[in-house]
Amino acid sequence: MLKSQTNILITGCSSGIGLETAALLANSGHRVIATMRDITKAKELTDKVSIPNNLCLMSMDITKPETIVSAVKSIIEQFGTIDVLINNAGITIDGFFEDHSPEDVEWIFKTNVMGMMNVTRAVLPYMRKQKSGQIINIGSIAGRWALPAISVYSATKFAVDGFTEGLRHELMPWGIKVTVVEPCFVNTNMVTVNRNVAANTANPHSPYYVMTEQAEAFYEKYGQKYEIEPEVVAAKIKEIINTSNPKLRYMLGNREQITNLLIRILPERLANLFLKNNYPAYE
Ligand SMILES: NC(=O)c1ccc[n+]([C@@H]2O[C@H](COP(=O)([O-])OP(=O)(O)OC[C@H]3O[C@@H](n4cnc5c(N)ncnc54)[C@H](OP(=O)(O)O)[C@@H]3O)[C@@H](O)[C@H]2O)c1
Our answer to whether residue 48 is catalytic in this structure is no
Choose one of 17, 145, 164, 191 to mutate for the ligand 1 pocket test, by most ligand atoms within 8 angstroms of C-beta: 17
Residue 221 in any domain: the answer is no
Helix (H/G/I), strand (E/B), else coil: 36: strand
The model's pLDDT over 36-87, given as tens digits with 9 standing for 90+, comes to 999 999 999 999 999 999 999 999 999 999 999 999 999 999 999 999 999 9
User: Does position 2 have pLDDT exceeding 80, yes or no?
Assistant: no
* Ligand 1 site, residue 138, Cβ cutoff 6 A: yes
β-strands 55-59, 176-183: how paired?
A: unpaired
| pLDDT surpassing 70 at residue 283 | no
CATH number of 107's domain: 3.40.50.720
Number of structural domains (the chain) is 1
**Ligand 1 centre distance from Cα of residue 282 (Å):** 29
Q: Is residue 162 part of a domain?
A: yes
**Ligand 1 midpoint to CA 267 (Å):** 34
- 131 domain-assigned: yes
Q: What percent of the chain has pLDDT over 70?
A: 97
271 in a structural domain = no
Q: Quick check: CB of 90 below 6 Å from ligand 1?
A: yes
Predicted TM-score of the model (pTM): 0.97
276 lies in a domain?
Answer: no
Residue-range definition of the domain harbouring residue 191: 7-205+228-253
54 is a domain residue: yes
d(CA 161, CA 156): 9
Helix 151-171 and helix 116-130: axis angle, to 10°? 10
CB atoms within 10 A of CB 273: 13
Computed over every residue of the chain, the mean pLDDT equals 96
Residue range 179-208: mean pLDDT, rounded: 96
Determine which residue's CA is closest to atom 39 belonging to ligand 1: 14
Catalytic position from the list 64, 131, 153, 276: 153
Q: Given pLDDT bands bounded at 50, 70 and 90, which one contains residue 5? A: low
Instruction: Give strand pairing partners of 252.
Output: 183
Distance 27 CA to ligand 1 centre (A): 21
Catalytic residue among 64, 110, 157, 247: 157
Distance CA 259, CA 265 (A): 10
Q: Where are the alpha helices (DSSP H) in the chain?
A: 16-27, 43-48, 65-79, 102-109, 116-130, 151-171, 209-226, 230-241, 254-265, 268-278
Q: How do residues 236-268 score in pLDDT, each as one tens digit?
A: 999 999 999 999 999 999 999 999 999 999 999
Report pLDDT for 1: 44
Answer whether residue 64 is part of any domain.
Answer: yes
Task: Report yes or no on 42 lying in a domain.
Answer: yes
Distance of CA 7 to the CA centre of its chain: 20
